[in-house]
Amino acid sequence: MRITVVGLGKIGLPLAVQFAGLGHHVVGADIDDRVVGAVKDARPPFPGEPGLAQRLARVVGSGALDATPDTAAAVFDSDAVVIVVPLFVDAQGTPRFDAIDAATEAVGHGLRPGTLVTYETTLPVGTTRNRFGAHLERVSGLRPGADFFLAFSPERVSSGRVFGDLARYPKLVGGVDEASTRRAVAFYEAVLEFDERPDLAQRNGVWDLGSAEAAELAKLAETTYRDVNIGLANQFALHADRLGVDFQRVIEGCNSQPFSHLHRPGIAVGGHCIPVYPWLYLTGDPDATVVRAARAANAAMPEHAVARLAESYGDLAGATVVVLGACYRGGVKETAFSGVFAIVEALGRRGARVLVQDPLYGPGELEALGLDAYAGGCVDAAVVHTDHPEYRTLSRHELPGVQVVLDGRGVLDPPRWSGAVLIGLGRGGAVAVP
């Protein structure tokens, strides 16, 4: 097949490489000339995706993958178009469609009869049919479900393990009509390969969910479930601290039977997905009180954590506090919706001098994010925000003078912090390490 992938970001580029690796001719379209140039030169435009550099070099070298800034021209020569352009939300959680609307416009200008168009960007339910279907029809003059095929298939992968996730998880698909669904199922069966999964209720592969709306809801449901579960775990953890109970042991006990799936509590919920997609769900179901309450509970965790630190340390005015980790997730160089910003603000409101350290970011990169970098020296307190593996062997000697440490991710090794007060969320309160 001839395929265009629109959006060569951390998900779109690995998808394009995956498709090309199975013998299809793929063109990646992106409005960023630097990204297009990097792909043409077989250079990953972003770091940290295992296997991407080698696979990219192979498919570019063979001529199976090319890149262009001209989306319409690429679409005109394609049998299938996959759109993976970000949908942003503002500070109030309202979707901002500017980027993906512009991509849809460009696709419409190149659309021909018989082409399959699938969206993989997470969307509010009904967007594929009502917003983008109408937009494509208006621009191209072609009717979705009659002149071209239109479907939704959510991306279900995470940065740092995209290729593994593509094989491990079923590909969920739904079209705006039966013909679109059939075409989308056939397309993904031709461009993906799946692991054997005896644990699944049906064979791993492409799963027809029946409609675009069902596929859209599936992505919002599985990610919103995680936010709600984390919110519940965070409230349990805060209560456990008041009781003097180690909630981690409670989780292990509860999850020993198959009807409990408690998630881990933590200092913040960050990334492109979990703190964002509940808002997309709420655009279609604004009365979902459980979803809204969980989002509020998780958004409040950085403030709760800083308050816990202040309870043990005392007045933070004038104190030097280092926040360990800017990334929203350990091992992933990304700060989208990272809790580090809320933690720094909460500490700053208490008058602390706040510094940030992250093994994946240099001092200049942290400064560019508006964060003051820690370059060593004495500190009064520390907050672990990110579960980087490097922090598992961190000790008090590497933070001279530190008196109180709040471990927001449960990654520190307590014996290494002898002489300091160690606080863990849901760990039963502050403990002076002998």
Catalytic member of 10, 219, 254, 378: 219
DSSP 55: H
- Reading the block at residue 162, the tokens are 């995209």
The neighbouring-strand residues paired with 174 are 152
Q: CA-to-CA distance for 249 and 342, rounded, in angstroms?
A: 28
Q: CA-to-CA distance for 94 and 283, rounded, in angstroms?
A: 8
Catalytic member of 10, 40, 171, 273: 273
The neighbouring-strand residues paired with 82 are 5, 118
Distance (Å) of CA 427 to CA 124, 243, 270, 332: 37, 10, 22, 26
219 is catalytic: yes
Q: Which region, left, alpha or beta, applies to residue 232 given φ > 0 means left and ψ of -120 to 50 means alpha?
A: alpha
Q: CA-to-CA distance for 238 and 157, rounded, in angstroms?
A: 31
Number of H helices, E strands in the chain: 15, 16
Q: CA-to-CA distance for 255 and 240, rounded, in angstroms?
A: 17
Q: CA-to-CA distance for 322 and 324, rounded, in angstroms?
A: 6
CA-based angle 59:60:63, to the nearest 5?
A: 85
Q: CA-to-CA distance for 144 and 114, rounded, in angstroms?
A: 10
Among 382, 431, 434, which residue's Cα sits nearest to residue 409? 382
The neighbouring-strand residues paired with 324 are 357, 384
Burial 343-356 (b: 16+ CB within 10 A, else e): bbebbeebebbbbb
Q: CA-to-CA distance for 387 and 144, rounded, in angstroms?
A: 45
- Reading the block at residue 223, the tokens are 């990610």
Q: CA-to-CA distance for 171 and 206, rounded, in angstroms?
A: 5
Residue partners of 18: CB distance under 8 A and separation at least 6: 55, 163, 166, 191, 192
The neighbouring-strand residues paired with 429 are 424
Pairing of β 429-432 and β 381-384:
unpaired
What are the catalytic residues? 219, 273
